[in-house]
């Protein structure tokens, strides 16, 4: 109990103190015109209130990640708490804030455009591929997981297949609506269900007489039933609850509806902290109610949805427990919708198809839905592994974009460089060792090769950064984020930077 409450307390303190430092380091301009006002189009660029933006951001980034991830992370034991707390404060919160705010300074641009501007034009194509791959995997995972949850609490004739089709129909209808209608109207309701149900799980866990595992000398070991090593697997198991590249695809959507830069810390950093609190509660509940073997068996039998059902019913009873399950269901449905919306806009920007008519929207959206529907037929656990790796590679790219931005501004860039370098190393070791990659296993050679490749990439990143900075004048539009970015990108200076 002490670790759970202490961890949540640290998350709140992290928001108050470290979040304030990150905001100060970014140097917000409260009076600066935001894309929501400057580019208002009534569809994607629409000013919305701080509270609506915050709840949309929370639901966009959450999905089943801060629930399914911590459930699977609970297999490692209380050490999972450390990654959630430290990851949220020093990596995830910083990652989300920086990308959201950099997008705010760049016409609400998505990650591929930001990567092109700050890392060089050739990188844009790589990031586009990763971003669209990630979003398709996210959308698919976030269709499969709620379909399984709904099937568990509905009559037998409501099969997973039928529910999957119904979710896709809902997505198709919602994706052609303006953002303030598709998200602004229903997400506050979804958010209320999520917050109330999560709080109910947490309170019941604290006062139901259970012995909640704490971190101490004895519990700092790896308790995974299959002996899976903590590093790098834990970093990929608990991603959305600590650090997630998926968030870099969602923050730009909210940057297009934000009315002022002063809202950024609460909307971007704060909602990541909120996701960390959700992750702490579900990790604690999973460790408390099940031993490792039982938990592992339930997960391997299908998806972590069985654990969600058991935890909710055991702690809250049939009626309130079912409401809590509904709270979990709205997470992936809302995130899946926003994933498709982001994927559509990224692809449309890439191929140059303006999304100003329903026909053009459907021309991009329908093929994406068809691909995702085919992917739903693949085993969930396999999808989750690929999703997690693509997710964390995207996080690395986002942190490198943020580092370059701060470097060019002559601010403290170590706040993004250190978590970026650590996650880069984890991504390389993971793809070298895991079955989805080179299958070399976690050997000294894997770790050594990971170090060499990481240092090589970081050296290249440093060299191109120095070249990029030397090509810019201190008062350049590029450095000062002057409006309008779109016309500016046609200038010679922008062209020269893109070649760095």
Q: Cα-flanking dihedrals φ and ψ of residue 339, to 5°?
A: -65, -45
Instruction: Summarize the confidence of residues 212-222 as an average pLDDT.
Output: 88
- The 3-state DSSP class for residue 212 equals coil
Residue 470 burial by Cβ neighbours in a 10 Å radius (0-12, 13-18, 19+)? exposed
Q: What is the DSSP string of 357-399?
A: SHHHHHHHHHHHHHHHHHHTTS-HHHHHHHHHHHHHHHHHHHH
Residue 60 maps to a domain: yes
CATH number at residue 169: 1.20.1740
CA nearest neighbour of 485 among 40, 26, 104, 37: 104
pLDDT given for residue 440 in this prediction: 92
Q: Please, are residues 68 and 332 in contact by the beta-carbon 8 Å criterion?
A: no
Report CA 203 to chain centroid distance, whole Å.
26
Residue 421 maps to a domain: no
Q: What distance separates the 2 farthest-apart alpha carbons in the chain?
A: 67
Most confident region among 362-366, 380-384, 459-463 by mean pLDDT: 459-463
Residue 191 maps to a domain: yes
Instruction: Summarize the confidence of residues 1-15 as an average pLDDT.
Output: 95
Per-residue pLDDT tens for 144-198? 777 877 887 788 888 888 888 888 888 777 777 777 776 667 777 777 877 888 8
Q: Is the pLDDT confidence value at 308 over 90?
A: no
How many Cβ atoms sit within 10 Å of the Cβ of residue 299?
A: 22
Residue 446 maps to a domain: no
Weakest-pLDDT range from 7-21, 122-136, 372-386, 433-447: 372-386
Handedness of CA 170, 171, 175, 179 (dihedral sign): positive
CA nearest neighbour of 337 among 125, 198, 146, 107: 146
Instruction: Summarize the confidence of residues 446-475 as an average pLDDT.
Output: 92
Per-residue pLDDT tens for 321-349? 887 777 777 767 777 777 888 888 888 88
pLDDT given for residue 490 in this prediction: 37
Instruction: Summarize the confidence of residues 426-448 as an average pLDDT.
Output: 92
Q: Return all residues near 286 (Cβ < 8 A) that are at least 6 apart.
A: 70, 71, 74, 295, 307, 311
As a whole number of angstroms, the distance between CA 45 and CA 17 comes to 31
Q: Please, are residues 344 and 177 in contact by the beta-carbon 8 Å criterion?
A: no
Residue 492 maps to a domain: no
Tell me the two tokens of residue 9.
Answer: 């307390």
pLDDT given for residue 161 in this prediction: 86
pLDDT given for residue 145 in this prediction: 72
CA nearest neighbour of 245 among 115, 375, 158: 115
How many domains does the chain contain in total?
1
Residue 210 maps to a domain: yes
Q: Which domain holds residue 120?
A: 2-395
pLDDT given for residue 471 in this prediction: 85
As a whole number of angstroms, the distance between CA 168 and CA 134 comes to 18
Weakest-pLDDT range from 56-70, 113-127, 371-385: 371-385
- The 3-state DSSP class for residue 34 equals coil
Report CA 78 to chain centroid distance, whole Å.
23
pLDDT given for residue 288 in this prediction: 94
Please count the CA atoms within 13 angstroms of the CA of 179 that sit on its side-chain side.
31
As a whole number of angstroms, the distance between CA 469 and CA 325 comes to 51
Residue 431 maps to a domain: no
Instruction: Summarize the confidence of residues 7-24 as an average pLDDT.
Output: 98
Handedness of CA 267, 273, 279, 284 (dihedral sign): negative
Average pLDDT of the residues of the chain: 85
What percent of the chain shows pLDDT beyond 70?
92
Residue 403 maps to a domain: no
């Amino acid at each position: 109990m002490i670790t759970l409450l202490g961890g949540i307390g640290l998350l709140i303190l992290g928001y108050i103190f470290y979040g304030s430092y990150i905001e100060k380091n970014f140097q917000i301009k409260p009076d600066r015109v935001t894309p929501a006002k400057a580019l208002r189009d009534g569809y994607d660029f629409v000013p919305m209130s701080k509270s609506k933006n915050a709840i949309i951001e929370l639901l966009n980034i959450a999905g089943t990640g801060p629930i399914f991830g911590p459930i699977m992370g609970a297999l490692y034991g209380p050490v999972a708490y450390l990654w959630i707390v430290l990851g949220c404060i020093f990596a995830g919160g910083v990652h989300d804030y920086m990308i959201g705010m950099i997008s705010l300074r760049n016409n609400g641009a998505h990650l591929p455009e930001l990567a092109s501007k700050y890392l060089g034009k050739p990188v844009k194509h790589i990031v586009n591929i990763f971003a669209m791959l990630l979003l398709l995997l996210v959308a698919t995972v976030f269709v499969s997981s709620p379909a399984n949850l709904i099937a568990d609490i509905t009559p037998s004739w409501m099969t997973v297949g039928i529910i999957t089709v119904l979710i896709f129909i809902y997505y198709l209808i919602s994706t052609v609506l303006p953002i303030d209608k598709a998200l602004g109207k229903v997400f506050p309701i979804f958010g209320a269900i999520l917050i109330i149900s999560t709080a109910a799980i947490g309170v019941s866990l604290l006062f139901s007489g259970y012995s909640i595992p704490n971190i101490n000398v004895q519990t700092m070991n790896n308790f995974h039933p299959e002996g899976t090593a903590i590093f790098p697997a834990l970093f990929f198991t608990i991603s959305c609850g600590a650090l997630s590249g998926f968030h870099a695809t969602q923050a730009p959507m909210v940057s297009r509806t934000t009315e002022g830069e002063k809202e950024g810390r609460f909307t971007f950093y704060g909602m990541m902290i909120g996701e960390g609190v959700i992750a702490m509660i579900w990790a604690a509940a999973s460790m408390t109610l099940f031993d490792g073997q039982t938990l592992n068996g339930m997960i391997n039998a299908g998806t972590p949805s069985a654990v969600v059902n058991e935890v909710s019913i055991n702690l809250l009873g049939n009626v309130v427990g079912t409401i809590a399950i509904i709270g979990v269901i709205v997470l992936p449905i809302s995130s899946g919708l926003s994933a498709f919306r982001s994927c559509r806009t990224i692809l449309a920007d890439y191929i140059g198809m303006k999304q100003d008519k329903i026909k053009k929207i459907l021309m991009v959206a329908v093929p994406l839905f068809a691909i995702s529907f085919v992917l739903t037929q693949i085993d969930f656990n396999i999808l989750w592994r690929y999703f997690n790796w693509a997710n964390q590679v995207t996080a690395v790219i986002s942190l490198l974009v943020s580092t370059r931005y701060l470097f060019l501004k002559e601010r403290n860039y170590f706040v993004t460089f250190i978590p970026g370098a650590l996650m880069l190393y984890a991504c390389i070791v993971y793809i070298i060792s895991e079955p989805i990659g080179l299958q070399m296993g976690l050997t000294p050679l894997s770790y050594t090769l990971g170090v060499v490749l990481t240092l090589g990439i970081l050296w290249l990143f440093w060299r191109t950064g120095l070249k990029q900075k030397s090509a810019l004048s201190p008062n350049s539009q590029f450095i000062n984020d002057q409006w309008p970015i779109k016309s500016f990108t046609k200038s010679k200076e922008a062209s020269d930077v893109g070649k760095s």
